[in-house]
Structure 1
């Protein structure tokens, strides 16, 4: 997952033969490049593998909400407006971000923490968005055959599997470079320059400080010289040259200066990531020092409350939350933190009220939506939770988290058909069609549904079994090709 497309093409000779047993058909073999539809299908397949099989995928709806807010702001201001984009976090301390087929863009937590301003982070995302809008993946394959496309698909999944092994990745790159594929490397430099140029334009159009992009890249380049072989991951996957930096500086020098303050959520996300799941004494002490000043940053107070909460110092967390609320800072993340504090105190009903009130202020927050539904279940109001989750699924039927909550609510209400049906949808979204079919079969025999519910289950079971048969056929064909 850490290696960008050019690294993939360079190391194509290293692909394990059994990796690509479950990849989508990439289209007509006579096609000269990856079609938009094939690119979307390939991206959906890879995202499913990342989301459900990669432990590094950051399962944090607040961070993902923020990244998509920031990314959508960039997309809406540029040539990608109207295209489907998805931004997600990767729990990895290295400085990296990457674009994949279909508008999927991953951002390492290390990169978020290293950014000294929101414009710096936005600059990296703008660069990655430009890789997608210019269809660099499809264009890279412009002179490749259908075999080349399948090899690319295989490699992208292989990189996911090998992400944790730096030695495997480095060996693959070395072997690929030995193959002498200098044409693709040169082409990659053109793509990087194009992404730089369009990224700066997009950054300015979205209202950010364009100097943030240049400043961040310059800092990465300096780190690369200091650490040589231990350069930041972003430098290894997006090779920077002095010419690229100079071109960006010249371009930015001709643009008007704009001082852009960071959003509050940028600072809160960084504070949350710094605290982590189990903050060290040093981290807690750092937040305590920052929060004790005469006019402490809101993010420092937020981080301190979260650090106390994570270490179960609830009385301290309550005290600091009172101080944080005195600042009158508006953020779904602050509301969510207060809801978490109520849950920690054993008051899910109070948390549900907090989440519901906060959702009126921040209706787009997935974090608050999930929080309210889960708190309703935990407070014994499963019927209310089921009503809420059904309403949400009307517009977001592909949300596995909502289906999981629906299954929990239905189990609490003794609705066996509904529970198994909901679990069947969870497994179907994850691509586990065998488990999905099993759950729908259990729903079929539950005996507590009406005619319409039973008919829906029967129909869905047929669909899932067809998907399972197709999945098994592709696996058999893959084995036959080896």
Structure 2
């Protein structure tokens, strides 16, 4: 259970960081890769462990000030959404099915806690705004809604201005997005969210040097801030300083420890390629693939890294050691998968 619990915590952290992290392209991709990695690592997660994980999840909700009944409500909505899709269920629901017993068990556990009165935070409203900006299907509708409200009342709240700016940025209306970003910064120059928004717009407007300067100052206020750090690395690359970008990402990875996102390694690989350090780029991609559960692809990247002419003796030995470890892990995973498959076949025959 300890290993499974640790994996869930890392995945939850990765998903939350993905929401907070910046660009409309990065966010959904990181959520998908974080979840994929978690699925791969939990193939042997038993039903008893699953019940224990649900119990821990409810404890986390309560300790964070949320109503524990949200757990069963979430399960119920999942069940309803996929009720008629048994042949096309996502992998997560095939290995961790949402059954009536599981819903009932979570409801019973929730009743053991006192009633909690939730209070929505301002930060949560900004997260909701960011998520709406990721909704490509309804982008035009959301822009129209905010444009109509602005025309009607002449004013938008800070959250609405933030959402509007993100939507305008996502649809390439950079000048209009920039005006909102400036207005928000005039109200609060030390908001990490507003600074990140302005930097994203500067990068999109091909003013990376301005973004570099802004983000360097911001990181003095918010050291190792994930969104600001990754944007800083992107701005450095756009400014023709890939070596500095790689150093920035490595520093972020070192500081984040258990809450590292797979996308950090993908960004690191991009910086290393730009710096013409091919071996390090392949090593970074190997770490990326390993984090999303694609061990075989990670091995291929390490084998390619081993063939690069820019390897030092120390780096060659390090790649070989990592390659041996990944190959052993792959064999163990395939062996367990084969054993589980044969056990399932035997049960069906009985």
TM-score (norm 2): 0.70
Q: 2:68 aligns with which of 127, 147, 156?
A: 127
Aligned 1:330-479 pairs, distance under 5 A? 330-363=190-223, 365-396=225-256, 398-479=260-341
Aligned-partner Cα distance in 2 for 1:437–1:284: 45
2:170 to 310, 315, 335: 310
| SS at structure 1 position matched to 2:147 | helix
Shift of 1:383: 0.8
Pairing partner for 2:83 from 166, 170, 189? 166
CA distance in 2 between counterparts of 1:277 and 1:327 reads 27
Matched with 2:143 is 284
After TM superposition, give the deviation of residue 332 of structure 1 in Å.
1.6
Output the CA distance in 1 between the equivalents of 2:253 and 2:164: 35
Cα distance, 1:282 vs structure 2? 4.1
Moved over 6 A (4+): 102-106, 128-131
Q: In 1, Cα distance between the equivalents of 2:281 and 2:165?
A: 37
Q: Deviations over 1:274-312 (max 9, x none)?
A: 333445444224323544647642112222222222222
Distance 1:447 1:41 in 2: 38
Give the superposition deviation at 1:473: 0.8
Indicate yes or no: 2:20 matched with 1:62: yes
Measure how far apart 1:413 and its partner are: 1.6
Displacement of 1:465: 0.8
* Distance (whole Å) between structure 2 residues aligned to residue 186 and residue 102 of structure 1: 12
Does the aligned pair in 1 maintain the 2:133–2:166 contact within 8 Å? yes
In structure 2, the residue matched to 1:68 is: none
Distance in 2 between the 1:59 and 1:354 partners?
21
Give secondary structure in 1 for the equivalent of 2:284: helix
For residues 188 and 263 of structure 1, what CA distance do their matches in structure 2 show?
26
**Structure 2 portions without partners, runs of 5+:** 23-33, 36-50, 59-63, 346-350
Which is greater in Rg? 1
More helix by share: 2
Give the Å deviation of 1:349.
2.7
The alignment yields a C-alpha RMSD, in angstroms, of 4.2
Report SS of the residue matched to 1:396: helix
How far apart in 1 are the matches of 2:191 and 2:126? 9
Q: Is the 8 A contact 1:265 1:331 kept in 2?
A: no
CA distance 1:455–1:309, shift in 2 (3 Å): same
Q: Contact 2:280–2:305 at 8 Å: present in 1 too?
A: yes
The whole-number CA distance in structure 1 between the counterparts of 2:274 and 2:314 is 22
TM-score by length of 1: 0.53
Residue 366 of structure 1 and its aligned partner are, at CA, apart by 1.4
Unaligned residue ranges in structure 1 (runs of 5+): 1-35, 52-56, 65-86, 89-98, 107-121, 132-155, 201-209, 213-259
